Chains A and B, each alone.
Chain A
Amino acid sequence: MTAVQAPPEGAAGVAAAPVQLPRPSGFSHRLRRSLRRHWQLYLLMVVPLAYFVIFKYVPMTNTVVAFKSYSVVRGVWDSPWVGMANFERLFRNPVFWTLVKNTLLLSGYTVLAGFPLPILLALMLNEVRHRLFRKSVQMITYAPYFISTVVVVSMLILMMAPRLGIVTKTFGLFGIAAPDLLGNPDYFRHVYVWSDVWQTTGYSAVIYMAALSAVDPALYESAKVDGASRLRRIWHVDIPGIMPTATIILILSVGNIMAIGFEKAYLLQNPLNLAQSEIIATYVYKTGLLNADFGLATAVGLLNSVVNLFLLLVVNWVCKRISGSGLW
C-alpha cells in the first residue's frame, strides 16, 4: 500500500537467489527431487505465479511502447519503432521539468513531515502507563488510516470551502481573512502533506511501538538505577532501540519518492492549483488515457520507475555506509 510497509526480509531473497546459480547440475537434480516430493506445493504456486507473470512481468515487457509509436490497431509488438523520439519530445517539453519539480517537492515534503511525527507519537505513547488512555489514543489516531482517499479529499474540500467551510470560518473568528487553501497553488502542498500526516501518523506509529516493545526492559532498569530522567531514558535507550526500524522506513520512503500516489493529487487538483499540483503520475494518466498518447505516457512512467529504483539503491547504499543497516 504505502511506503511505510517495509519488506525487511524480502531483500534477503534477492541477495540469496544468485547463490544457487553457479551449480546448475546440482540444482536441477535437487529441483527434480523436490518437485517429486512436494509437487502439491509447486502446483499451489502455479496460479499466483501466473498472476505475477501476467499482471507484473508482461507490463514490464510492454514498456517497449515507450520506444514505439503506438497504434491501437497494430498492438504493442507490431507498432513501429521510433527510438528515443518519445523521450526527446518529453525533454523538449518545458512542462516536463515543472512536473519533475512538483513531484520531487511534494514527495520530499511528505517524507520530511511524515517521518518524525510517528516516532514522536510512539515515544510519547510508550511513556504512558495508563493502559486505557494509551489504548484509546492509539485507537483514535489509527482510525484515519482506514478512511478512503476520496472521503479525505471530500472532507478537505468541504471544510476549506471559500465562504462556508469550517476552516474559513475559524479564521474569521480570529478576524483574519482566510486564505483560499484549495484554489491558491501555493497552499496545495501544505494541504496535501498535512492531511497526509493526519491520516498516516497513527498507523506509522504502530511500527515504532512494535520496535519499542522489543527493547530490553533491563536497559530501562539500569538507566533508572543510574538516575536517568525520563527524557534521558528516551534519548539513550528508546531512540537507539528504534534506529534500525527508522532507517528502513526512511530508505523506503525516500526510495519511493518518485512513486508518490496518483490518487490524492488527482482528487485535490482543480484548474486553479494545477501549477503546483500537476505531478508525473497525474500527467501520465492525462496524456496516456485521456489523450491516448500511449508512447509518451509510457516513456514518462518508465523514466519514473527507473529513477525510483536508482534512488532506492543509492539511499540503501548510503544508509549501509553510515549506519550499517539497510534493506539488504
Chain B
Amino acid sequence: MTTTALSRRRRVLPDRPATRIRESSVDRVFLVAVYLLLGVFVLAVLLPLVYIVASSFSSPAAVSSGRVFLWPVDFTLQGYEVVLTNPEILTGYVNSLIYAVAGTFISTTLTVAIAYPLSRRGLVGSNLIMALVLVTMLFTGGLIPTYLVVQELGMLNTRWALLLPQAIAVWQVIIARTYFRSAIPDELAEAAELDGSSDLRFLWSVVLPLSKPMIAVVALMYAITQWNSYFDALIYLKDPDLYPLQLVLRNILILNSSAGGGVVDVALQMQREQMAELLKYSLIVVASIPVLLIYPFVARHFTKGVMIGAVKG
C-alpha cells in the first residue's frame, strides 16, 4: 500500500517542474475551472447526505419545524433510540443480514462454479454454454412468467424466494471469467494436470487463493445488491416476519404506516407525529451505514473489478 503510493508519487514528481514551466495562463485558468467544477460535483453529492445525517441527530421539534440545515439543532439521540427499539425494524435488520450472508454465499459459489470452467480454454462446449448464459442477458421471460416458476416451486412466502431466483448475475460471471482468464495462465493448469492434480483440487488450492481480490469484489457486489433490494420481497413475501429491512423501510418511510392512530390528546398526537418524522431520518442513516462502512475498504478492489470487465473485455 505505502510502497505503491510512494512509487507513484516518484513517477509524478519528475515531470512536475516541466509541466509547470510550460503551463500557459489559459491552462491555469482551465485547471482552476476544473477544480471548481469538481467542487460543485462533490457538494451536490454531499449536501443531501449531510442534511439527512444532521437531521437525524436533531430534536423532533427542530426537524418537523424545518430548522435543521447542515448541522444538528438541539442535539439528541432520540431518533436512534426509537429506531433501535422498534421490533419491526430489528426483525428487518436481522432478516436482511440473513439474506445478505446466505445470498452472498450462494451467489458467489454458483458464480465461481460456472465462471471457472467457462474460463478454461479448450473445454469443449463451453462456448455454447456461455452463449446460453449470455442470452439470458438479452432476453428475459419477464415478471409474471418468473413469478409462476417461483410459485410452482412452492417458494412463495419463503426465504428461498429472495435467495434463489436472482442468484447468479450474468455480469458477475463475465467479470469472474475474465479475471480467471487473465490471472491464471493456461500453462499453470496444464502443469498441474501433468502433476496429476485433479481439476477441482487445482481450483481449490491454486485458482481460488490467486483470485481473492476478484472474489471479494464479486461477493461484495452481491452482498450490497441483496442488502439494497426490495422488489423480490415485495412480490414474493406476505409474512412480515420474513421482510428484509428495505421493505420495512418502504412501509415506514414511503407508505407512512407507523403513525399510531386513535390518540385523542392533541399535544400527544403532535409529539408522536414529530417523532415519526425524526425517526425517518435516523432510519435512513441506520439502514445505509453497513453499506457505506464497507464500501471504502473494498472500493479499490471494486474499481479494479469494473476495470477488468470494462477494459480487458
Residues of A within 8 A of B (CB): 1, 5-11, 13-14, 16-17, 19-20, 27, 30-31, 33-35, 38, 40-42, 44-45, 47-49, 51-52, 54-63, 65, 75-76, 121, 124-125, 127-129, 131, 133, 136-137, 139-144, 146-151, 153-155, 157-159, 163-166, 169, 198, 201-202, 206-207, 209-211, 213-214, 224, 229-231, 245, 262-263, 267, 281, 284-285, 288-289, 294, 297-298, 301-302, 304-305, 309, 312
B174 & A7 in contact (Cβ 8 Å cutoff): yes
- Chain A binding site: helix, strand, loop or mixed by DSSP? helix
Residues of B within 8 A of A (CB): 5, 8-9, 12, 16, 19, 22, 24, 26-27, 30-31, 34-35, 37-38, 41-42, 44-46, 48-49, 51-52, 64-66, 69, 110-111, 113-114, 116-118, 120, 122-125, 127-149, 152-153, 164-171, 174, 178, 198-200, 203, 221, 224-225, 227-231, 235, 246, 249-250, 253-254, 280-281, 284, 287-288, 291-292, 295-296, 299, 303, 306-307, 309-311, 313
* Contact flag A298-B145 (CB < 8 Å), given A48-B110, A55-B164: yes
* Contact flag A60-B110 (CB < 8 Å), given A154-B280, A230-B31: no
Looking at the assembled complex, report how far the CB atom of B67 sits from the nearest CB atom of chain A, in whole angstroms. Answer: 9
Which residues of chain B have C-beta atoms less than 8 A from A154's C-beta?
249, 253-254, 280, 284
6 contacts between A and B (CB under 8 A): A48-B114, A52-B132, A137-B42, A154-B254, A207-B310, A211-B311
A60 & B64 in contact (Cβ 8 Å cutoff): no
**Once the chains are docked, how many angstroms separate the CA of A62 from the CA of B143?**
11
Which residues of chain B have C-beta atoms less than 8 A from A47's C-beta?
110, 113
* Contact flag A139-B117 (CB < 8 Å), given A288-B143, A297-B143: no
Which residues of chain A have C-beta atoms less than 8 A from B307's C-beta?
206-207, 210, 213
**Once the chains are docked, how many angstroms separate the CA of A136 from the CA of B16?**
21
A230 & B42 in contact (Cβ 8 Å cutoff): no
**Once the chains are docked, how many angstroms separate the CA of A7 from the CA of B307?**
12
A127 & B143 in contact (Cβ 8 Å cutoff): no
Listed residue (B116, B138, B224) with the most chain A CB atoms within 10 angstroms of its CB: B138
Which chain B residue shows the least CB distance to A15?
Answer: B131
A159 & B123 in contact (Cβ 8 Å cutoff): no
**Once the chains are docked, how many angstroms separate the CA of A289 from the CA of B236?**
10
A5 & B125 in contact (Cβ 8 Å cutoff): no
A1 & B34 in contact (Cβ 8 Å cutoff): no
Which residues of chain A have C-beta atoms less than 8 A from B123's C-beta?
34, 38, 41
